[in-house]
Structure 1
Amino acid sequence: MSNRNSDWDDDMELTSRKSDNKDLVRFFGRLISNWYWFVLCGLLGLLCSFIYLRYTIPTYKVTAKILVSDDKKGGGMLSASALGDLSGLMGAKNSVDNEVEVLRTADLMREMVIAEEEYVVYFKSGTVHSIPTTSIPFKVNLLSDVDSISLTKSYTLKAMPNSVMEVSDRDTTFQVKLGAPFVIDGVGVLKLERSALVSNNKSDEYGFSIMPIRKATDGLIKALTVEVTNKLVSTIDLTLDHSLPRRGEQLLAVFIQKYMGRNLHDKNVIADSTLAFINTRLSKITEELAGVEDRISGYKQSTKLADITEQSKILLQESAGYNKSLAEVEAQLAMLDALSSYLQSSANPRVVPSSVLPQDVAFNALVTKYNELVLHRERLLLANTEDNPLVQNVTSQIAGLRQDMINNVGSTRRNLDLTRQKNVQMSGALTSQIQQVPTIERGYIDLARLQQIKQAQYIFLQEKWEETAISRTANVSNAKVIDSPKAGDKPVSPKRKVVYFIGLLLGLIVPLCFIYVRDLFNLRVRGKDDLDRLSHLPVLGMVAHSDENKYVVVSKTSRSPIAEQFRALRTNLEFVLHGGKTILFTSSMSGEGKSYVALNLAVSLALLDKKVLLMELDLRKPSITSKLGLPAGKGFSHYIIREDMRIEEIVMPSGVHENVSLIQAGVIPPNPAELLIAPRAEQLMKELAQRYDYILMDAPPVGMVTDAQLLARYADTCLYLVRQDFTYKEQLRIPSDLQMKNKISNVQLIINDVKVNRGYYGGYGYGYGYGYGYGDYGQENNKGRFSILTKLRRKKS
């Protein structure tokens, strides 16, 4: 069971893949069939691109690079200057990001616009559009304030005799004299002057546009790009898009100059502010210092003071020396007391710490010898007892040395006591002398301290004033131009190759989209592919479109492609009938060619020397009789109503072939459906089946009435007509539903009125699977008649 499912899945996947490939091939075939539209639209797209490039003003890219000092990256120009200590307080720190924002400000761009008068744009008038230019023989000067421009105005200039200029726009025309001021509403006071740039062609017409400062500034800001392309260095790239490369270079250069000038001005303002601050402080500190010095001089004169300061320093130094000596003596006494206690403990001989009294050489020698004996005694005890004479000898020596050291420590301590008493006495005497310093001297010390503070402030400010004054004269901008403005040789917009490519692409996309949308919204059957996709019923054959004016195109001598189609249809029909002989013709609606196909198929069957009967059973709207040019006579309705009528009375020759007979519809009855299923009708069909080899029933459209469903009981097969570009796709559900519900069995589809277009439908040819095409094969040799191929070729040419 799993293998069957796997095979089924593989079959479904293969079918889906084939269907997808077929749709893709069909789509490309459709594109190929409309190749001339792609060529035409592609050429049209290229033409539009050429026109666009011809009349589009090119834009050039002007680039420049500047280097700025960045304190964060160690490139600050103030780092080694005199203002280095004050720059943090005065806001002079730099960074690349800050400078980028400064370069993007509208105020800086406004300065450049005003300096270069970029609010006035000159142009040369052309046939289609105006071209910006800088070579104009006239110059416009704005005499009023630049902020007085509130409207954008554009005027053309024409030279007149006597230095008179004609100024005109769409609404007004007036004349002004060169050098004479004139007023334009919304602009201000202007004056025209002759420029040194004189055009070589006197017939050229020029003009100018004047716009508000803000509009000109905004336009240049949008055209300016300021960016840091490398974060590791402190360089800034500036790019200006302009239609005139030389003018763009000039504008960008002036813009950079304005930026550097503003930067230098900011530095000078900081330096000037610093100098003013220092001068103010210097004057105040000078006054305060002079006042303190006057107070000191008066104080000394009033108190008759000598240079007590030096004396006081000496007393303080001596007192500090005695105090230090006293502290050292106290420390040594404490150490001697600890050492004496250590030596008096004679329980076990122990090593005495050395360097306790580094200044006493004799004591240090006793300590060294004592420690050696103690260590020697300990080594002897490792192999002997304390009763050993050697051990006892060493022990007695140790006891003697200990007593000597105790005596030495006692003697040294007595000497230190005497030294301490002396130091205490001297320190007390000095303290008494210090306490005897007059209170007046203390006042003098306070004044001297204040004098030192004021003097230090005065010296610091004087040094900073000198440094700032020197740096003020050496101030430079923190930016440097390392790549001057240069315009590219080729315009950046529009790009010719890109425009041509887009034009060609759009030219190819338009017919592609048109074909896709046309197919997407197409509701009618376009060919066999639609039948394969929308219906599961088999296609018996296809009938091509015929330009002939007659209804019967099949004859004994006919070898036209359409005649071969009916022969192929006849061949396929033999495999469908399986020995049957009754064929029903129907369709979804009227006008799909049932009668036409039935007539020609009847003749094609008759050429096999078969007896063929064509029954006109469209009792509501019969058409075969009129198409054959036969008079109306007795027919099917008469036979069903009149029981005494015989079959021979309604059967008549068709006139198209001796083996083809016709039964007309007869009079149009009020109840055609009831007549078609009458018992006499069933008897008629049985008798006709015995007399004829083939019976072709032309029934009404099954999509409109039920007559075809009623006639299906007599038919061995049903040929369902589908007309190209006429039958709706939705109507293909009708035959499928009829067969699925067993209302009509053995339904075969026939595609009628197929317009031959090999590229569009992949070249199915004629017939069903045999592919008769338009070649020399099968064409008639009649000189007076053109084949369908010849007509189609001439029609295309």
Structure 2
Amino acid sequence: MKNTKIDWEDEVGSESPKSDNKKLHIFVGKVSANWHWFVLCGLLGFALAFAKARYSVPSYNVRAKLIVSDDQKGGDLSSSALGELSGLMNTKSSVDNEVEILKTGDLMREVVLQEKSYISYFHVGSIHNVPVLQTPYTVELLSDPDSIKSVVEIKVSGLEGENVQLSQGERTSEIALNAVFSLDGVGKMRITRSSANLENQEEYLIRIVPVRSAVAALKASLNVFVTNKNVSTIDLTMVHQIPSRGEKLLRTLIDKYVERNLHDKNVVADSTLSFINARLSRITSELSGVEDRISGYKRNTQLSDIGEQSRILLENSSGYTKSIAEAETQLSALDAISSYLADTRNPRVVPSSVLSQDGTFAALTTKYNELVLQRERLLLANTEDNPLVINVTNQIAGLRNDMIANVASSRRQLELAKQNQVQLSNRVTSQIQRVPTIERGFIDLARLQQIKQAQYIFLQEKWEETAISRTANVSNSKIIDSPKADTAPFEPKTTIMYVLGIFFGLLIPALVIWLKDLLNVRIRNLDDVKVYNQLPILGTISHSDEAEQIVVTKTSRSPITEQFRAMRTNLEFALNGGKSILFTSSMSGEGKSYVALNLAVTLALLDKKVLIMELDLRKPSITAKLGLPSGKGFSHYIVRSDMRIEEIIMPSGAHENVDLIQAGAIPPNPAELLVHSRMQELMQELDQRYDYILMDAPPVGMVTDAQLLARYADCCLYLVRQGFTYKEQLRIPNDLVTANKIQPIQLVVNDVQKKGGYYSGYGYGYGYGYGYGDYGQEGKRKKRWQFWKK
């Protein structure tokens, strides 16, 4: 019965080369098949983006520009004739340092407290609350702003008279205007009527936040940067939802920055003036005492003139005494500075202009004063245990040690210089001793007067220099572009929102398609069949919406009929002269009986005698699909040796050339019946009577019946159903061929549905199927707008 095994791989031939743009065609096919979802989601994304843009509160960029004096880049703002009198206020500055100062939290805190930006006002809307600059009511916080512990939102609406209604969560109360009341988490406050001419019946929202949170929000909205490293300009940008409010906040920030810069300079100048005033008061008193002594000495001695010798000695002595006086003045200044540095518990600002000739000490003093001022600023908002305060304190201690060492070194040098001048002065004194006693006494008093007078003149000069420098103090920065808000809002960016809305709208169906493909475990197209299977595909059968099981007729030219005819042509090559065909699959429901019936009719149209054997003895279905009554069949013939073949062969009713052998009664041992000796006799007899024998077997993935029937078959057609057969089940026919249990096997892909994908309308192998409206199509074509019927 069974012919010699053939090499079906050679018969099918090599696989046609794949198209290079196949994946693109598949993607385009899936998109076109689901175009309605892409359009719907794209429109939905655009609508959501439009709603977001429509109801978003716009934000504006407020910009300003400063120029600062930088020793490396020029731009000195304080150059004048007075600037050369003293180096007291010539503190080194740079653009990068000023940028960091503008970002400090202490500066932000001063702005928040002055502008009361911890209180914000909103107009209550139906969709969202809109920030406003003015409301009919103003909140006055009577407690310390630092008493605000948490964010508090209260709604205010006007009532008749001078009362307002306050709503906080579920609580509602009535408060009189200008009345003081307490609010949990905030403290004492009152609400007054503002000067704004607004509708009192509107509802407004007042939000009060902790000062620390307001400082953080202001710091986050501010961007300070240097656009060009070659110039000393600083750009400031603040993002705010109310342009005029943003301009005012940025203006206040710049004003506070300038005030702080001048304050730091004036602190050093005031400390120096205080030191010089104290020294001047003492020297003035001492000079007055010396002058009184000279007057008394002349009066008592009746001294009217000093000789030429006294004049010469006095001139010589005056030069030495002046040097000694300057040395003593410097030593006194060093002692005073030492007393400043000796206090390690409370560092104070040290005067920097007393020892103007010592450049190293002046640089150390400047750095020391900057650290002392920085420490005082940090202590305003931090404790002494703060790591930042400890770091600055350690730096101050290090500089103090350097300054003490420098003072000690300067004192030793002054002592040596003074000793040298004293030696020279002693020589002159020895000469003066030869002058009469009266003249010598006058010379001593005059010399003391010169010392005190030199000290007084020196301190008076330094006081004038310091006072003039303090008066001439200017900030090291200047506004060259005042704060201005952009006319167009910075956010929302409507164009970008629309593009993103459409993009994400289109992305959703694409992700759904991708996830469906990713999570799908069933066969969806021919690519899945080729990936999991190496066997040839005999043909593909399209999905049929007809209720009848027999779709092939003599006059039919529908696409599915042409597919069965194409499969019939391919089958002639697969059989290679044989006539027995075995139908099986991986599981029930994949269309074995349906394909067997229609293929039988297709073969009968060639005027061939065809027999269908219902050999699924466990769950027969062909008889029911043909609408025939159950009668004697295969199982009766096997178990009854007296029964003849004619008793079980019956017309199928599908075609006059198609006969049927029913399964008969369902036996308890179907596998044993298939290998019975009468089965061999039956197949030999049928081989003589019919041109084609089609055997409908149970699924091979469940029982071994199909393997037992394979010995009587010349070709096995393995049914695979699109969207029904599992991908892993495609390995079963490969394993059967590899193990030489069933050969040869060819696949038939059943229930291929038109979904607009890459494979829409295509068959496989030597024949093509046809799309709707093509050759011989019967029935109505669906309109493209009826996408829900797909």
With structure 2 as the length reference, what TM-score do the two structures score? 0.77
Matched residue, 1:45? 45
Q: Distance in 1 between matches of 2:49 and 2:40?
A: 14
Deviation of the 1:449 alpha carbon: 8.2
Deviation of the 1:93 alpha carbon: 2.8
Q: CA, structure 1 residues 457+765, in 2 after alignment: closer, same or farther (shift >3 Å)?
A: farther
One-letter amino acid of the counterpart of residue 118, structure 1: S
Contact 2:720–2:748 under 8 Å retained in 1? yes
Q: CA, structure 1 residues 440+59, in 2 after alignment: closer, same or farther (shift >3 Å)?
A: farther
One-letter amino acid of the counterpart of residue 32, structure 1: S
Matched residue, 1:580? 578
DSSP 3-state at the match of 1:773: coil
Matched residue, 2:33? 33
Cα RMSD, aligned residues only = 3.4
Deviation of the 1:794 alpha carbon: 8.7
Q: Distance in 1 between matches of 2:660 and 2:284?
A: 141
Deviation of the 1:182 alpha carbon: 2.0
One-letter amino acid of the counterpart of residue 206, structure 1: Y
1:55-97 CA distances to partner (integer Å, 9 max, x unpaired)? Answer: 2211111010111222343444456575767656x78332222
Q: Distance in 2 between matches of 1:435 and 1:205?
A: 95
Count of equivalent residues: 661
Structure 2 residue aligned with 1:247, among 225, 245, 249?
245
Q: CA, structure 1 residues 669+472, in 2 after alignment: closer, same or farther (shift >3 Å)?
A: same
Q: Distance in 1 between matches of 2:724 and 2:209?
A: 63
Matched residue, 1:769? 767
Contact 1:122–1:207 under 8 Å retained in 2? yes
Q: CA, structure 1 residues 789+545, in 2 after alignment: closer, same or farther (shift >3 Å)?
A: farther
Deviation of the 1:482 alpha carbon: 0.6
Once structures 1 and 2 are overlaid, which stretch shifts more, 626-635 or 605-614? 626-635
One-letter amino acid of the counterpart of residue 609, structure 1: D
Matched residue, 1:627? 625
Q: Distance in 2 between matches of 1:80 and 1:792?
A: 84
Q: Distance in 1 between matches of 2:475 and 2:712?
A: 108
Matched residue, 2:22? 22
Q: Does 1:60 align with 2:56?
A: no
Q: Distance in 2 between matches of 1:461 and 1:314?
A: 23
Matched residue, 1:701? 699
Contact 1:78–1:84 under 8 Å retained in 2? no
Q: Distance in 1 between matches of 2:786 and 2:692?
A: 38
Deviation of the 1:135 alpha carbon: 3.1
Q: Does 1:464 align with 2:457?
A: no
Q: CA, structure 1 residues 283+681, in 2 after alignment: closer, same or farther (shift >3 Å)?
A: same
Deviation of the 1:125 alpha carbon: 0.8
DSSP 3-state at the match of 2:688: helix
Q: Distance in 2 between matches of 1:440 and 1:296?
A: 21
Q: Distance in 1 between matches of 2:262 and 2:430?
A: 64
Q: Distance in 2 between matches of 1:299 and 1:737?
A: 137
Q: CA, structure 1 residues 436+735, in 2 after alignment: closer, same or farther (shift >3 Å)?
A: closer
Deviation of the 1:292 alpha carbon: 7.2
Q: CA, structure 1 residues 446+500, in 2 after alignment: closer, same or farther (shift >3 Å)?
A: farther
Q: CA, structure 1 residues 136+768, in 2 after alignment: closer, same or farther (shift >3 Å)?
A: farther
Q: How does 1:369-380 map to 2 (within 5 A)?
A: none
Matched residue, 2:743? 745
1:275-314 CA distances to partner (integer Å, 9 max, x unpaired)? Answer: 1122123233445566777899999999998555776799
Matched residue, 1:158? 157
Q: Distance in 2 between matches of 1:315 and 1:123?
A: 84
Matched residue, 2:114? 115
Q: Distance in 1 between matches of 2:227 and 2:574?
A: 79
Deviation of the 1:120 alpha carbon: 1.4
Q: Distance in 1 between matches of 2:310 and 2:587?
A: 135
Matched residue, 1:591? 589
Q: CA, structure 1 residues 19+230, in 2 after alignment: closer, same or farther (shift >3 Å)?
A: same
Matched residue, 1:327? none
Q: Distance in 1 between matches of 2:315 and 2:196?
A: 91
Q: CA, structure 1 residues 79+449, in 2 after alignment: closer, same or farther (shift >3 Å)?
A: farther
1:313-344 CA distances to partner (integer Å, 9 max, x unpaired)? Answer: 9999xxxxxxxxxxxxxxxxxxxxxxxxxxxx
Matched residue, 2:169? 170
Q: Distance in 1 between matches of 2:574 and 2:777?
A: 28
Q: CA, structure 1 residues 588+501, in 2 after alignment: closer, same or farther (shift >3 Å)?
A: same
Q: Which runs of 5+ in 1 are unaligned?
A: 1-13, 317-432, 781-785
DSSP 3-state at the match of 1:192: strand
Q: Distance in 1 between matches of 2:781 and 2:541?
A: 13
One-letter amino acid of the counterpart of residue 508, structure 1: L
Q: CA, structure 1 residues 776+289, in 2 after alignment: closer, same or farther (shift >3 Å)?
A: same
Q: Distance in 2 between matches of 1:550 and 1:108?
A: 87
Matched residue, 1:324? none
With structure 1 as the length reference, what TM-score do the two structures score? 0.76
Q: CA, structure 1 residues 746+488, in 2 after alignment: closer, same or farther (shift >3 Å)?
A: same
Matched residue, 1:142? 141
Deviation of the 1:498 alpha carbon: 1.0
Deviation of the 1:203 alpha carbon: 5.0
Q: CA, structure 1 residues 774+792, in 2 after alignment: closer, same or farther (shift >3 Å)?
A: farther
Deviation of the 1:202 alpha carbon: 5.9
Contact 2:143–2:189 under 8 Å retained in 1? yes
Q: Distance in 1 between matches of 2:650 and 2:475?
A: 115
Deviation of the 1:115 alpha carbon: 1.6
Q: Does 1:796 align with 2:784?
A: no
Deviation of the 1:557 alpha carbon: 2.5
Q: How does 1:220-239 map to 2 (within 5 A)?
A: 220-239=218-237
Q: Distance in 1 between matches of 2:784 and 2:559?
A: 13
One-letter amino acid of the counterpart of residue 796, structure 1: K
One-letter amino acid of the counterpart of residue 167, structure 1: L
Matched residue, 2:132? 133
Q: How does 1:239-318 map to 2 (within 5 A)?
A: 239-287=237-285, 308=309
Q: Distance in 2 between matches of 1:306 and 1:233?
A: 68
Contact 1:560–1:787 under 8 Å retained in 2? no
Larger RCO of the pair (alpha carbons < 8 Å, separation 6+): 2
Q: CA, structure 1 residues 285+202, in 2 after alignment: closer, same or farther (shift >3 Å)?
A: closer
Once structures 1 and 2 are overlaid, which stretch shifts more, 496-505 or 292-301? 292-301
Matched residue, 2:777? 779
One-letter amino acid of the counterpart of residue 557, structure 1: T
1:359-396 CA distances to partner (integer Å, 9 max, x unpaired)? Answer: xxxxxxxxxxxxxxxxxxxxxxxxxxxxxxxxxxxxxx
One-letter amino acid of the counterpart of residue 586, structure 1: T
Deviation of the 1:487 alpha carbon: 0.6
Q: Percent identity?
A: 60
DSSP 3-state at the match of 1:702: coil
Deviation of the 1:640 alpha carbon: 2.1
Matched residue, 2:551? 553
One-letter amino acid of the counterpart of residue 107, structure 1: D
DSSP 3-state at the match of 1:697: strand
Contact 2:157–2:202 under 8 Å retained in 1? no
DSSP 3-state at the match of 1:759: coil
DSSP 3-state at the match of 1:71: coil
Q: Distance in 2 between matches of 1:16 and 1:445?
A: 129
One-letter amino acid of the counterpart of residue 69, structure 1: S
Q: Distance in 1 between matches of 2:741 and 2:130?
A: 78
Deviation of the 1:591 alpha carbon: 0.6
Deviation of the 1:179 alpha carbon: 2.1
Q: CA, structure 1 residues 257+470, in 2 after alignment: closer, same or farther (shift >3 Å)?
A: same
One-letter amino acid of the counterpart of residue 215, structure 1: S
Deviation of the 1:523 alpha carbon: 0.5
| Structure with bigger gyration radius | 1
Once structures 1 and 2 are overlaid, which stretch shifts more, 479-488 or 563-572? 563-572
Contact 1:527–1:751 under 8 Å retained in 2? no
Once structures 1 and 2 are overlaid, which stretch shifts more, 69-78 or 696-705? 69-78
Q: CA, structure 1 residues 230+546, in 2 after alignment: closer, same or farther (shift >3 Å)?
A: same
Q: Distance in 1 between matches of 2:225 and 2:430?
A: 77
DSSP 3-state at the match of 1:758: coil
Q: Distance in 1 between matches of 2:525 and 2:220?
A: 57
Q: Does 1:507 align with 2:505?
A: yes
Q: Distance in 2 between matches of 1:574 and 1:84?
A: 113
Matched residue, 1:196? 195
Q: Distance in 2 between matches of 1:771 and 1:741?
A: 34
Q: Distance in 2 between matches of 1:463 and 1:30?
A: 93
Once structures 1 and 2 are overlaid, which stretch shifts more, 455-464 or 152-161? 455-464
Matched residue, 1:389? none
Q: Does 1:535 align with 2:528?
A: no
